[in-house]
Amino acid sequence: MPSRPPRSAAALAWHAAEMAVAVPQVVAHRMTRLAIAGPSPSQRDRREFTRMVSEKSAAFAAAWQGMAVQAMVANQALATSFWMAPLRGAQSPIASMAQLQAATFGVLGEGIAPVHRRAVANARRLAKTPLL
């Protein structure tokens, strides 16, 4: 089930905290597995190591793409609000900062969501997998 990108400071903090727990677990499991495998890893180990590289590439590509699209959407919304301000009255500085903050959280949320999703899923999956 894909998680929705976080859109608030609390949601971003929660996702970051979950990743702070999940990522070291995944790294520890995979590095231990790499050390145990030695110079001749089994087919199962090779699959896991290949998966490790391809998942990272896919997650970070999705993160960059999501952030770029969200940044473009946010820039268009910000530009439109500034151009339209003379027609509907000046926007208060607080409203402008709230809009900028929401745009920032949107971009950050799009960036963290795919990485968070993969890291947490891997931590769950690898916790059930024996090292040998």
* d(C-alpha 126, C-alpha 44), whole Å: 13
Report, as an integer, the average pLDDT of 62-91. Answer: 86
Name the residue ranges covered by the structural domains of the chain. 43-132
Report, as an integer, the average pLDDT of 39-58. Answer: 93
| Res 1 pLDDT > 60 | no
* d(C-alpha 73, C-alpha 29), whole Å: 39
Q: Are 78 and 103 a contacting pair, CB within 8 Å?
A: yes
How confident is the model at residue 98, as a pLDDT? 86
Report, as an integer, the average pLDDT of 72-83. Answer: 89
* d(C-alpha 126, C-alpha 130), whole Å: 8
How confident is the model at residue 4, as a pLDDT? 67
